[in-house]
Amino acid sequence: MNALKIHEIPGRVTISSGNGGLPVIRVRSDFSTAEIYPHGAHVTGFQKHGEAPLLFMSAASEFRAETPIRGGVPVIFPWFGSRGGMVAHGFARLAEWDLVATSVLPLGSIKLSFQLPTEEPYRVTFDVTIGSSLIMALAVCNTGAAPFTFETCLHTYFQIGDIRQLRVAGLQGTRYHDQLLAADLTETADAIRFSAETDRTYQDTAATVAIIDPVLDRSMIVSKTGSKSTVVWNPWIAKSQRMPDFGDDEYLRMVCVESGNVSENAVTLAPGEESLLTVEVSSFPFTDPIGSRAG
């Protein structure tokens, strides 16, 4: 904890004991507040002044060193999903990342920089900028002598009013793999609507996605660079009841729109090469580019 405190900035960045006794970093910019746990370099909160939180956190999340945090923005690396008995979604979300720098930017945003401790032949850094939007940048550099293939994803949980009234737009015409149907399909709808468990990986897309939420009277925008995959997920009723760190009815108030490079869009770096995945999350008063509120 003391080693972290050297990065505090009075009135801007404070470090204390959080849930489960894990260290937590709390940030206040000119525009917003945020909360980040070095455990997983996990952003657990982002809220613009005067607005509802943009990120969803499960009230049942287990804040323990040996388990991932449920909600917010888990950092997925170096694989997505399960891998032959190994920890799901990779080890990065279970690691204690090093906080290496904090700074106040000229226009009043706050930037924090993390590095993944590892003896492997690669370097992984994660920068989080808290301002009028939330900007996250995950960089991977191959420091070894052989090619390195990996998957990345910023597994963002968004807080919403009611999943049954939500729409996710921007992916029409995009090919996707439906995990539940074990089928490859193409999105034909102008927006994704939810009436059952949804688990889809959209491939070969760099599109900006809009989360249209008439209940909370806002639209959230997910824009990205260095990403060819977008994952859309909601566990619905039965899976929510099977998850020990997720409330039975919390599926109503969340949706995951995840940005990264997974499956066939996995990244291969030659020695010395670097990849950069950047995701910006912003919100605006309710706008509906595809129809009326009642549509």
Any idea which residues carry the catalytic annotation?
Answer: 155, 258
**Exposed/middle/buried for residue 207 (C-beta within 10 Å: 0-12, 13-18, 19+):** middle
Select from 24, 37, 11, 12 the least CA-distant residue to 102. Answer: 12
Residues 77, 151 contacting (CB under 8 angstroms)? yes
Give me the sign of the Cα torsion angle 201, 206, 207, 209.
positive
